[in-house]
Amino acid sequence: MNRKVRLGVAVCVSMLLAAFLVVATHADDGATYVGAAKCKMCHNKADEGQVWTKWQESKHAKAFATLKTDEAKAVAEKAGVATAPSEAPECLRCHVTAYEKDKPLPADIKMEDGVQCESCHGPESAHFAAAKKALADKSIPQVLSGAPKEETCKKCHNPESPTYKEFNFKSFSEKIAHPNPLRKAPKS
Ligand code: HEC
Ligand code: HEC
Ligand code: HEC
Ligand code: HEC
């Protein structure tokens, strides 16, 4: 190989690597949970769709509160769960982000916040750090999340839910949609 070709190969390889870095996803970044409160500062602008407020007003945000209702008590009784639903691992595992039986919740996750952003988008510490840095130097965050997949929803939307309603990825996604109109606008 002559010099020019070798340089060309090196440039291509580093461009490929850069492409991989940009699309880094949660599977490989070892990210941890930061909690929905930290998303609000950047994802709640009026002209960007008020994503945070949309979530806060959604049933997902109220999924823990639901477990304290009489309806939940009746559901638990029918399912043969003797503990109060808001303390029962059998219910909390789908009604609270990152809940795991016999494990403490991640420090920044509160039960009261129910099913938060990171249940669908995955742990966001890497995006959070990259976005804060990008905000400071007015660039674009180098770590994004990628769109949640049907499998992610089905970890909770499955027949193990005592109130299961047939899950349809498309129509259910439309019900919880929180698009950023600026992002969808054609780029000039
Ligand atoms: C310091 C600012 C900042 C914080 C804090 C922040 N983000 Fe972002 N985020 C951005 C920017 C900028 C973008 C790119 C533009 C856009 O899509 O709004 C983005 C994009 C995204 C996207 C779309 C990316 C994709 O792959 O499609 C998701 C999802 C997201 N953020 C989730 C979160 C969640 C969840 C939190 C809280 C845990 C959070 N962000 C916290 C700035 C931030
Ligand atoms: C961590 C578990 C979990 C994940 C993951 C999850 N959900 Fe849910 N979802 C729930 C629970 C629990 C409720 C019921 C909340 C309540 O009524 O208190 C719910 C309710 C809903 C509802 C009905 C509420 C409404 O506003 O009409 C829709 C639609 C929905 N989810 C769509 C989705 C979609 C789409 C995904 C994936 C992108 C998803 N969910 C991922 C647990 C989850
Ligand atoms: C129940 C699952 C679920 C929850 C909870 C959730 N999201 Fe999303 N989010 C989605 C789905 C599905 C999409 C659509 C991805 C696509 O474009 O196909 C999305 C898209 C986004 C986008 C990109 C919007 C765009 O126009 O491209 C951002 C930013 C975002 N979410 C941030 C958040 C933040 C911040 C929270 C919490 C305050 C949150 N999401 C809570 C499932 C969820
Ligand atoms: C496998 C995940 C999962 C488990 C386990 C689970 N839930 Fe849910 N829960 C959901 C989802 C998803 C919804 C939204 C409706 C559905 O099931 O499609 C929901 C909705 C509800 C609702 C709202 C009523 C409705 O029809 O939307 C109540 C009340 C409820 N759950 C109580 C409980 C109780 C009590 C337990 C424990 C005995 C429990 N859930 C265990 C996932 C789960």
Tell the residue nearest (CA) to atom 20 of ligand 1: 144
CB 79 within 8 A of CB 90: yes
Number of other CB atoms surrounding residue 90 within 10 Å = 16
Query: What span, in angstroms and rounded, lies between the C-alpha atoms of 184 and 133?
Result: 23
Ligand 4 interacting residues, C-beta cut-off 6 A: 66-67, 71-72, 75-76, 79, 81, 85, 88, 90-91, 93-95, 156-158, 160-165
Query: What span, in angstroms and rounded, lies between the C-alpha atoms of 63 and 84?
Result: 15
107 CA to centre of ligand 3 in angstroms: 22
Closest C-alpha to 62, from 31, 96, 107, 14: 96
Q: Which domains does the chain have, with CATH numbers?
A: 31-184 (1.10.1130.10)
In sign, the C-alpha dihedral spanning 187, 173, 130, 30 is negative
Q: Is the CB of 167 under 6 A from ligand 2?
A: no
**Tens-binned pLDDT, residue by residue, of the chain (188 aa):** 444 444 444 444 444 444 444 444 444 468 999 999 999 999 999 999 999 999 999 999 999 999 999 999 999 999 999 999 999 999 999 999 999 999 999 999 999 999 999 999 999 999 999 999 998 998 888 877 778 999 999 999 999 999 999 999 999 999 999 999 987 655 54
Contacts for 119 with CB less than 8 Å, ≥ 6 apart: 60, 97, 98, 152, 156
